Amino acid sequence: MRKWSAVSVVYVLALILLWVYTGRVGMENRGFVVAGYGLTWGALLWYAFRLESRGRTTARAVESFEVAGTGD
């Protein structure tokens, strides 16, 4: 969770930096370019962290069967 929060902060800062950079170089259609790259990074990071979270939840559930002595 802490890692996800840190990555979210870095992600938002990178987007702001990209927005400022594209403004300074006078990039036309920069809204679409920044949104496109932001969406790509956002989606892949979200999915990668979602996998980790699902993994932790599932591992805990498997362990709970072990603790209850009903597993192998």
Q: Which is nearer to another protein, 5 or 26 (CB)?
A: 26
Task: Identify whether the C-beta of residue 39 lies closer than 8 Å to the C-beta of residue 62.
Answer: no
Tell me the HSE value of 13 on the side-chain side, using a 13 A CA sphere.
6
CA–CA distance, 38 with 14 (Å, rounded to integer): 9
Q: Which is nearer to another protein, 5 or 49 (CB)?
A: 49
Which positions touch another protein (CB under 8 A)? 18, 21-22, 27-30, 32-33, 35-37, 39-41, 43-44, 47-48, 51-52, 54-56, 58-59, 61-62, 65, 68, 70-71
- Closest CB 9 distance from another protein, rounded Å: 16
